[in-house]
Amino acid sequence: MKPLLCKCLQQWTGAWKCVTVVLLYLLSALHPLTAQDILLKNPSLEGTPGQGAVPPGWRGRGTPDIQPGALNITQPPSDGATYVGLHSGLSWIESISQEVPLKAGKTYTVSMDLAYAPTYAFLACYANMTIYAGNTPSDTAERLWSTGEFYHTNWVRYSFVFTPGRDYKFITFMAAPWKPCDKSIYGSALLIDHLSDALLETPQLAVTVRSTCKGENRGEATVTVKGVTQPYTVKWNPGGQTTEHITGLAPGNYEVTVKLPSGASATKQVTVAGWEVKSKVTVIPSACYGQNNNTIEMTTDGGTAPYRYYFNGSKNAVYTPSFSKLTPGNYRVLVKDEEGCTEHIDNITVAEPAPLEIAGMRTKDVSCTSTMDGKISLEIAGGTPPYAFSLDNNAWQASNSWRGLDAGSFHFRVKDTHECETEGSAMINRNIRECAVFVPTAFTPNNDGQNDWFRAKVHDDVREFNLEVYSRWGQIVFRTGDPEGSWNGDFRGSPQPGGTYVWILTYVDSKQQARKQTGTVMLIR
């Protein structure tokens, strides 16, 4: 194109009509432009280099320059013989404009080469190309696109895609002052060359997606193309389908590209999700053993609600994820969402609390004729702690024992935190004997089951009990505060030698008298 253009310029100097004819002819041969594409005049920005000059077919604001050569700009063109240089500040704007029929709602693509000029007669701080639409060369009614700050001094290709909100008559390319510059009044300085031959009508894409279940290939996608009136082609990747609607998609990422005969194209990425239905299962057991009122409750997310629940092999779906009045056992649930995605949950174990029962009972009879020191102690198993206890229908208590009992028959009740109950009875007898404490004089810890332990025989309701045993050297070898405590003849795990040991016993008896008894005991090996 360049030699023919130069020849035309040589024969008809200043004859822009010639240039236009040549450009239109060549562009139509190279690109099948349609009525929706907008041809640009002199997109290579060819003209006579000079300061304050604008290439033919363009209008300037401020003092654009045809480069190279003006104001010490020497960078070679990226296309053709010349290009345009612009530098702007907050109080001085330079731009070039061209009259074009921009249509509201249409999407266009334009490309160009740009470079930063750090020294453009004055020092600059950055480059910034901003495209505006308006109805006069200096009108900046709508900002269409901007590069933002850039600093590369070599030529770099940029492509801009924009959609005007209204109809306009002019498009403007400005070295926009992005921010103040501390080097000079010209903050933004740039070089522009090699615009695309036309503002290419560009398709606008909208994609709707129907996802699929995880592990399945039932996804679908549909691309809707807007903003173009010319034929276009569609291609999906991966897959290579060429229709607007495609099916049989697995979960994953896809892209669709729509291309026009002019070469303009648009690409959009989409994701086909893999729906996964996931449920949290909660088993609520019966309050008490044997009630058979266990419940399974489920919370489901993922997929598409509402969810259907098929309980324990049932063919009939329910929408309420709660199943009650269940007996202990194993259950299964099939969950299905609106898209047909399923979740199989097997081996849901339902178990009730263990039966509440008396695991053990200890009683202590009344010690002697004139006391009331009977005792009942219970061990409980099953149910749900904590437990409460009542004796002879008296008030409930947290303790599992009763002390200070007289002789007689007693009935007790036990309940757990869910009011589950069990009951039983116990008999306390009275020992008809003198209230006293006796201490044996010998014992034989040989594990024959007879007289193996040294212990006091307490036939009284005593308190503050303390029994100590001393060796012949005065060392304490045994001590207990339990009236039922006993010594096996060892000290710190080692058997003590046979012989005589001294004991001292103190306590308060049932008549509230402090007592002290002493004596010796023979340890026989």
pLDDT of the residue at 6: 36
Tell me the CATH number of domain 203-275, given options 1.10.10.10, 2.60.40.10, 1.10.1060.10, 1.20.140.10: 2.60.40.10
Burial class (CB in 10 A: 0-12, 13-18, 19+), 375: middle
Q: d(Cα 195, Cα 98) in Å, to the nearest integer?
A: 12
Nearest residue to 401 via CA among 428, 420, 368, 382: 428
Average pLDDT over residues 368-396: 95
Q: Which residues pair with 401 in a beta bridge?
A: 377
How far, CA to CA in Å, does 283 sit from each of 133, 293, 298, 309, 330?
66, 11, 9, 16, 11
Nearest residue to 117 via CA among 183, 205, 169: 183
Return the number of other C-beta atoms located less than 10 Å from residue 227's C-beta.
17
Return the number of other C-beta atoms located less than 10 Å from residue 81's C-beta.
17
Instruction: Note the residue count of the chain.
Output: 525
Tell me the per-residue pLDDT of 79-106, one tens digit each, with 9 for 90 and over: 999 999 999 998 899 999 999 999 998 8
Using the 8-state DSSP alphabet, how is residue 4 labeled? H
442-443/514-523 β-pairing: parallel
Q: Which residues pair with 61 in a beta bridge?
A: 95
Tell me the per-residue pLDDT of 2-30, one tens digit each, with 9 for 90 and over: 333 333 333 333 444 344 334 433 443 44
pLDDT of the residue at 10: 37
Identity of the amino acid at 120: Y
Q: d(Cα 63, Cα 94) in Å, to the nearest integer?
A: 6
Tell me the per-residue pLDDT of 202-212, one tens digit each, with 9 for 90 and over: 888 999 999 99
> Percent of the chain beyond pLDDT 70?
93
* E runs forming strands in 451-495: 457-459, 463-470, 476-480, 490-491, 494-495
DSSP 3-state of 9: helix
Level-2 CATH architecture, domain 436-523: Sandwich (2.60)
DSSP 3-state of 71: helix
How far, CA to CA in Å, does 389 sit from each of 99, 386, 407?
98, 10, 20
pLDDT higher than threshold 60 for residue 270 = yes
pLDDT of the residue at 28: 39
Nearest residue to 147 via CA among 155, 138, 156, 158: 158
The domain segmentation of the chain, as residue ranges, is 38-201, 203-275, 277-350, 356-428, 436-523
Q: d(Cα 481, Cα 375) in Å, to the nearest integer?
A: 18
pLDDT of the residue at 281: 97
Reported as a pLDDT band with limits 50, 70 and 90, residue 350 is: very high
* E runs forming strands in 126-251: 129-134, 142-146, 156-162, 168-175, 188-193, 198-201, 204-210, 212-213, 219-226, 233-237, 245-249
Level-2 CATH architecture, domain 38-201: Sandwich (2.60)
Average pLDDT over residues 192-207: 93
pLDDT of the residue at 34: 47
CA-based radius of gyration for the chain:
51
pLDDT of the residue at 1: 37
Using the 8-state DSSP alphabet, how is residue 354 labeled? P
Return the number of other C-beta atoms located less than 10 Å from residue 501's C-beta.
20
Cα distance from N-terminal residue to C-terminal residue, the chain: 126
pLDDT higher than threshold 50 for residue 35 = no
Average pLDDT over residues 521-525: 94
Average pLDDT over residues 253-271: 91
pLDDT of the residue at 339: 87
pLDDT higher than threshold 60 for residue 353 = yes
pLDDT of the residue at 11: 37
Q: Which two tokens stand for residue 139?
A: 């009108």
How far, CA to CA in Å, does 138 sit from each of 56, 90, 91, 94, 501?
17, 15, 14, 10, 120
Q: d(Cα 281, Cα 260) in Å, to the nearest integer?
A: 54
Sign, CA dihedral 154-159-165-169, equals positive
The dotted CATH code for 277-350 is 2.60.40.10
pLDDT of the residue at 38: 92
pLDDT higher than threshold 70 for residue 457 = yes
When mean pLDDT is compared across 95-104, 139-148, 174-183, 356-365, the lowest value belongs to 174-183
Name, in order, each residue with C-beta under 8 angstroms of 404's C-beta and a sequence gap of 6 or more: 372, 373, 374, 375
pLDDT of the residue at 7: 35
Average pLDDT over residues 414-420: 96
Q: d(Cα 298, Cα 278) in Å, to the nearest integer?
A: 10
CA 349, chain centre distance (Å): 29
pLDDT of the residue at 265: 86
DSSP 3-state of 255: strand
Mean pLDDT of the chain: 91
Reported as a pLDDT band with limits 50, 70 and 90, residue 308 is: very high
Name, in order, each residue with C-beta under 8 angstroms of 386's C-beta and a sequence gap of 6 or more: 398, 416, 417
Instruction: Please indicate whether residue 9 or residue 289 has the higher confidence score (pLDDT).
Output: 289
Phi, psi angles (nearest 5°) of residue 125: -110, -25
Q: d(Cα 273, Cα 470) in Å, to the nearest integer?
A: 83
pLDDT of the residue at 220: 94
Tell me the per-residue pLDDT of 323-344, one tens digit each, with 9 for 90 and over: 999 999 999 999 999 989 999 9
pTM over 0.75: no
Average pLDDT over residues 245-264: 92
User: Same CATH topology for 203-275 and 436-523?
Assistant: yes
Torsion region of 464: left, alpha or beta (phi above 0 gives left; psi -120 to 50 gives alpha): left
Q: Does domain 356-428 have CATH number 2.60.40.1080?
A: yes
Name, in order, each residue with C-beta under 8 angstroms of 447's C-beta and a sequence gap of 6 or more: none
Tell me the per-residue pLDDT of 36-71, one tens digit each, with 9 for 90 and over: 689 999 999 999 999 999 999 999 999 999 999 999
Q: d(Cα 320, Cα 309) in Å, to the nearest integer?
A: 7
When mean pLDDT is compared across 201-215, 310-324, 499-513, the lowest value belongs to 201-215
pLDDT of the residue at 478: 97
Reported as a pLDDT band with limits 50, 70 and 90, residue 519 is: very high
Sign, CA dihedral 473-479-483-485, equals negative
> Percent of the chain beyond pLDDT 90?
86
